[in-house]
Amino acid sequence: MKVHKKMYVTLSIGAAALVFAGISQWKANATNRVTTPAAAPGARPIVAAGRVEPESEEIRIGSELDGKLKTVAVAEGDSVRRGQVLAVLDNGDYAARVSLTKAALRESEASLERLRNGARVEEKSEHEALLREALARLATAKAERDRRVILLDRGAISRSEFDLADRDYQTAAARADAARERLAAVRTQTRPEDLARAEAEVDAARARLAEAQALLDKTFIRAPLNGRILRRYRKAGESVSGNGDTPVVSMGDVRTLRVRADVDEADVSRLSLGQRGYVMAEAYVGSKFWGKVVQIGQALGRKNVRTDEPAERVDTKILETLIELDPGQALPVGLRVDVYLEPRG
């Protein structure tokens, strides 16, 4: 019995020690929870998915007209200048239309010039000679008619013979009047209404030429800005549409690169213009490409950049944010990257 009492006392003391140790540990943990603050949300970087693009964004360039490509003069990677010809459509019919309208314009301008200058001296002399000839024939016809009047009164000729001479006289008189009017027309100045009509014809001819030239110019597909050819979609011989659904090439200004990032709506309050950060890509292990925020979207939307994660939520609301990379950093356009924006101080 004494042995059992001793064991019971020993066990009681041990249990009490364990309980005391547990209470001490709980107090220590509680103290740690109170005295050790959690990390502030703003201390962590903003992480987002993004894609590399040129400063100008990627511009797809097509034709304004339906047709077939005669030549495509550039290849992927070529540097081009604004206004440089990138491709040409078959344009023989457009060039012919320009030639025809040019000829019509020259003809209209010549007619206007004649009206403005009036008749030449030679032309006036010619019409004066024609009038003299017509008057001479009129005099001869009148003399013959007068002679036949006398013969008719004497009964020496028939009425039909007299009528023939009278008809010749009337014809000669009409021709003389016409020659007189033509001479008067070349001697007088151009009438204002005739001059206005000729000027209108010249204006119309110039408008038709401008229209034909504009259509011809549209067969030359030109670069809208300085940049680099990023992709070529069509080659010579292929057909294109003026609806814009068949781009020939795409290009962009790659002197400055940007990253279009999808910032989660939970982080938008921590964004600010000028905020520094970097991007990383699987293809460039360990490399950081630094830049700063230059534009923050004004409305939330759906994700633009998708990852390969099968469990990724596609309905997450994001705010588009542009990060401009520091000069001298080269990355392929379209590359998917991870964006890390430093927390604001």
Per-residue pLDDT reduced to its tens digit, 60-103: 999 999 999 999 999 999 999 999 999 999 999 999 999 999 99
Q: Do 323 and 261 meet the contact criterion of CB atoms below 8 Å apart?
A: yes
Banded model confidence at residue 313, pLDDT cuts 50, 70, 90: low
* Cβ-based neighbours of 220, under 8 Å, separated by 6 or more: 85, 88, 89
Query: What is the rounded CA–CA span in Å between residue 314 and residue 301?
Result: 11
Q: What is the pLDDT of residue 4?
A: 44
Q: What is the pLDDT of residue 127?
A: 80
Give the least confident one: 10-19, 71-80, 137-146. 10-19
Query: What is the rounded CA–CA span in Å between residue 216 and residue 193?
Result: 35
Q: Spell out the SS3 assignment of the chain.
A: CHHHHHHHHHHHHHHHHHHHHHHHHHHHHHHHHHHCCCCCHHHCCEEEEEEEEECCCCEEECCCCCEEEEEECCCCCCEECCCCEEEEECCHHHHHHHHHHHHHHHHHHHHHHHHHHCCCHHHHHHHHHHHHHHHHHHHHHHHHHHHHHHHHHHCCCCHHHHHHHHHHHHHHHHHHHHHHHHHHHHHCCCCHHHHHHHHHHHHHHHHHHHHHHHHHHHCEEECCCCEEEEEECCCCCCEECCCCCCCCEEEECCCCEEEEEEEEHHHHHHCCCCCEEEEEECCEEEEEEEEEEEEECCCCECCCCCCCCCCCCCCCCEEEEEEEECCCCCCCCCCEEEEEECCCC
Banded model confidence at residue 119, pLDDT cuts 50, 70, 90: low
Q: Would the pLDDT of 272 be above 60? A: yes
Banded model confidence at residue 37, pLDDT cuts 50, 70, 90: very low
* Cβ-based neighbours of 112, under 8 Å, separated by 6 or more: 195, 198, 199, 201, 202
More confident residue, 262 or 38: 262
Q: What is the pLDDT of residue 36?
A: 34
Q: Would the pLDDT of 318 be above 80? A: yes
> Please, is 142 exposed, middle or buried when counting C-beta atoms within 10 Å of its C-beta (0-12, 13-18, 19+)?
middle
Query: What is the rounded CA–CA span in Å between residue 96 and residue 176?
Result: 47
